[in-house]
Structure 1
């Protein structure tokens, strides 16, 4: 085909690749209208195909013909004729005033709809004025602007294209521009072996349920009645793990909204038996706010016996103290943890825009003991480099298109269990001393490839070498093991700075707090973990000298 030879049609070639991918993997899921679209699309003239893909990739659904000006396509009105015949676009769609305002400039609106005396109004003010006159009016563009030499094309297959995009990517936050970004080398992705069975949805019902929950979420976020949303989403079948997770998340978000509104009974229903992280802890908190102390205490004890993650364990421990006080329980004696090592600095603030972390970095940095701002990026990057093979293992359901920056199940509870032997093999390098060579080789081989852990922009060769020289393998093993225990929570909260003494092969981490700043819960958990394993960490409290 011609588009395969002409580089100007790169976007069209990519769209054909996506359609072929879908036919190969979703032939049993695609319905008649989608199959007909795929077949008929390939029969269209080249310019018509290209124009349709351009419209699909742009924000729509309404487009001025004069704005569809692409050299490789030529006249957009001529290219649109087969699309009009197919019914995939229209030129007589009834438009509301809001759509008209998104299409026209202010001077065009004044010429077509308003008295020129309104030219002093801003565009949004003009809309408010005209909305009173044209409330609920719907009419074709030609009726809105009879004297304007322009055509407006409206895409009628937006939902069909959205469904195809969802099936290809397995989500709706990625779009067709992924092909372009990859072709240009802006994003590079790991090459994972995929077969014809690699796909994100099991069947048509999963696709429909995903889109249904998405519409319910949009309706809720637009201010729709909460009771109606809950009634709708409770009709969703939950036999698919993907759909069950999205359902649990939406119920949790609705519960948070109800809690803020003071509708505690309704919020409790959203939190009860909800597996979404944080739901059980919110349920305990709402029971406490409703003075149902015995129920809250019993649930907190259950959570404490088997916490879902470190964050829940920390919050539940506090809740048990508060609830026990309300119920008159004697407080169990608990050894008080030693506070982290403290460093107090009074620094001159040379630049108001300078972040406090960088002021401390500049103050402590020495040629023989360099300081780097790393926060969560260094430890996560080292983990990602050492365990690259395990992270990108081609397991069923983990990858199903070429544009994954990480496995789909990265944050699921069974992520580690499915790869236990692979991670064990990667971490074993820390015991044999070969980990440094593995990390360096991965850094060289995979540099710039998207990863959920590796921050290429923050990890240059100097920092990498200093880290490998100064960080003990035992400490790396402890950090990496903790990361794997709860990736979502534990890849955040690490200290801001790290200082190395390469000649002595030692280091210290530094958490920086400016005036009035306090340690966050995830930071406290990391500090406690470091103290438990003998890792050197200081909490640096800064005061500005002029204050």
Structure 2
């Protein structure tokens, strides 16, 4: 039996050492002198000092009271911290602002140490902080703030460096050290992907600095800091890494949307004009229309219609272009008549308002001979993910950077399919010769619970899988899967809510459910049109609630 990594009290230290070894092996050429020295000095530390530093790095904040650091495996904290103080990685005399001070004090301690400055003992903590700040409370060491408390405060000075190491390992700063623990506990299981020398997202020191820079700009934007300096800094950034350029494009797109919301349309246009992120061109057309620049909007819209970026853009342009032509004095253009879709109208009693409308329709239509499942986007995506597992998790350069990825980094890139065209073709070939049923069932058993960007394990069951493979024609699966690959971001959503099977006849019907006052969304309309085009059975069910006792 394999030993549980969490049985070792220094499990967290083992994980940190694993990261350092990974970085030493794969990022030695881009580590700064400071980072390399940190790794070398860390390896030379006594184990209690290593453990204490990692405990502090993995906790929230930068300031830690001596009495709050209690770890049986580390032992005496004063002994463990001494080497860290000597290296300057921890200090005792850091100056704390009032905000930082309040983060490490309890309310009774604030009254004891600062009551003479804040007054109003029954006020809220936020009011005390404001009172202290109003008195121009300058940063000073903990002991100067709180001489009544005979306690030492340790402040971490290497958190920024450790964050950069974490960034190099994960390729982002939203994943943290808890990933290791969740994997050790078996809560998250990741596909084992072979890593090559090219398997890293940050290829140079400039890439690392740019990634940190973009993260800082995002934080400033999220904190509602002034936009002009943020926009100028993001525009000035020069990148030759496509992965980072996409991140920069996404931030520019978010900044543009924000400028739209606050009515700064000139800035929004400027941002969208220099942005390659999907959807920026359509937003620019909408802004031009909004400010009355109909001719420019029409010119850009007609050019976009010649080569739409996505089905979503094509659908939006079909509404926008006739409207712009009318505003410019052109003749009215008749709207395309929506195709007829099978319609179901139900009046159902709503016994429990907390239950969804989909639940009521499922319960009403369900029959042992014709079971109904609430699947929404989960079933088609899962079948695709199981069949195409080898293509999705192919160890291509620039796809996987570390062992804790749910899917490839380039999943939403325009060339995702092209880079794996032969692999996907091999998977789709199984739909032609019938092997797909056995392959999907085998992968369902072998890969159960492994993280995937497509497979919804919680929504799958053996019964649902068997009914789907028996009743869904391979031709329809091939159409659905091909559409997914055309635009993964847009097309893995919007699928009908329910699916009903007739196992005896090996047929099915998909059902989109709409409650009172609800209407079809754009992505749902696109799926309905696609199903109609390929003669797939689909219906829209409109529900009205029946009055109780009527």
Q: Tell me the TM-score normalized by structure 1.
A: 0.96
The 3 A distance-change label for structure 1 pair 287 and 492 is: same
Equivalents in 2 of 1:469, 1:6: separation in Å?
45
Which residue pairs with 1:224 in the alignment? 225
Give the C-alpha shift of residue 273 in structure 1.
4.0
SS at match of 1:437: helix
Determine if contact 1:198/1:396 at 8 Å carries over to the other structure.
Answer: yes
- Give the C-alpha shift of residue 332 in structure 1: 5.1
Deviations 1:116-146 (CA, angstroms, capped at 9, x unpaired): 974433333333333323x342011111111
Unaligned runs of 5+ in 2: none
Separation in 1, partners of 2:27, 2:523: 42
Q: CA deviation at 1:400?
A: 1.9
Q: CA deviation at 1:334?
A: 6.3
TM-score by length of 2: 0.96
Conserved? CA contact 2:84–2:90, under 8 Å: yes
- CA gap 1:5/1:106 in 2 versus in 1, 3 angstroms: closer
Is the 2:6–2:184 contact (alpha carbons within 8 Å) kept by the matching residues of 1?
no
Structure 1 segment 283-432 matched on structure 2, within 5 A: 283-331=284-332, 335-432=336-433
Q: Secondary structure at the match of 1:489?
A: helix
User: 2:53 aligns to what?
Assistant: 52
Determine helix, strand or coil for the equivalent of 2:9: helix
Deviations 1:288-318 (A, max 9, x none): 1121111111110111111111111111111
Query: Does residue 85 in structure 1 map to residue 83 in structure 2?
Result: no
**Aligned ranges for residues 191-340 of structure 1 at < 5 Å?**
191-331=192-332, 335-340=336-341
The answer to whether the Cα contact below 8 Å between 2:198 and 2:398 also exists between their aligned partners in 1 is no
Q: Contact (CA 8 Å) 2:201, 2:243: kept in 1 or not? A: no
34-43 or 334-343, which deviates more? 334-343
Following superposition, the deviation at residue 198 of structure 1 comes to: 2.1
Distance in 1 (alpha carbons) for counterparts of 2:538 and 2:67? 62
Instruction: Report the aligned-residue RMSD.
Output: 1.7
Q: Secondary structure at the match of 1:543?
A: strand
> Equivalents in 2 of 1:535, 1:444: separation in Å?
29
- Report SS of the residue matched to 1:360: helix
Determine if the alignment matches structure 1 residue 73 to structure 2 residue 74: yes
Partner of 2:185: 184
| Counterpart in the other structure of 2:509 | 508
Match of 2:145 in 1: 144
Q: Corresponding residue for 1:127?
A: 129
Q: Relative to structure 2, which stretch is displaced further, 322-331 or 294-303?
A: 322-331
Counterpart position of 2:488: 487
Cα distance in 2 for residues equivalent to 1:390 and 1:117: 66
4+ residue segments displaced more than 6 Å = none
1:474-494, CA deviations, whole angstroms, 9 ceiling, x for partnerless residues? 111110000000001100111
**Aligned residue in 1 for 2:110:** 109
Matched residue of 1:120: which SS? coil
**In the TM superposition, what is the alpha-carbon distance from 1:24 to its structure 2 partner?**
0.6
Q: After the TM superposition, which of the residue ranges 164-173 and 258-267 deviates more from structure 2?
A: 258-267
Contact 2:378 2:456 in 1 (8 A): yes
The answer on whether the counterparts of 1:377 and 1:454 sit within 8 Å (CA) in structure 2 is: yes
- Preserved contact between residue 293 and residue 323 of structure 1 (Cα < 8 Å): yes
The whole-number CA distance in structure 1 between the counterparts of 2:414 and 2:288 is 27
Q: Which deviates the most, 370-379 or 113-122?
A: 113-122
SS of the aligned residue for 1:401 comes to coil
Tell me the distance in 2 between the aligned counterparts of 1:270 and 1:398: 28
Question: How big is the shift at 1:75?
Answer: 2.2
Alignment of 1:436-515 (within 5 A): 436-515=437-516
C-alpha distance in 1 between matches for 2:513 and 2:216: 43
Structure 1 residues 225, 123: closer, same or farther in 2, change over 3 A? Answer: closer
Alpha-carbon distance in structure 1 between the residues aligned to 2:79 and 2:300: 68
Of 262-271 and 407-416, deviating more is 262-271
Render the CA deviation track for 1:329-377: whole Å, top value 9, x for unaligned. Answer: 3355665232322111111111111111111111111111111111101
Q: Which runs of 5 or more residues in structure 1 are unaligned?
A: none
**3-state SS of paired residue (1:234):** helix
What displacement does 1:6 show? 7.4
Q: Is the 8 A contact 1:24 1:196 kept in 2?
A: no
Q: Deviations over 1:373-429 (max 9, x none)?
A: 111011000000000000001111111211111111100010000000000100111
Q: Give SS of 1:441's match.
A: helix
For 1:442 and 1:455, locate their aligned partners in 2 and report how far apart those are by CA, in whole Å: 13
* Partner Cα distance (1:332, 1:520) in 2: 23
Q: Alignment partner of 2:385: what SS?
A: helix
Match of 1:63, SS?
Answer: strand
Count of aligned pairs: 543
1:179 Cα deviation (Å)? 1.3
**Does the CA contact (< 8 Å) of 2:94 and 2:140 recur in 1?**
yes
3-state DSSP of counterpart to 2:496: coil
Alpha-carbon shift at residue 328 of structure 1 (Å)? 2.3
1:39 deviates by: 0.4
Secondary structure in 1 aligned to 2:495? Answer: coil
Aligned equivalents of 1:370, 1:149: Cα separation in 2: 69
Aligned equivalent of 2:545:
544
Shift of 1:52: 0.6
Contact 1:110–1:118 (8 Å) recurs in 2: no
Q: Which residue of 1 aligns with 2:20?
A: 19
Q: Is the 8 A contact 1:343 1:540 kept in 2?
A: yes
C-alpha distance in 1 between matches for 2:198 and 2:246: 22
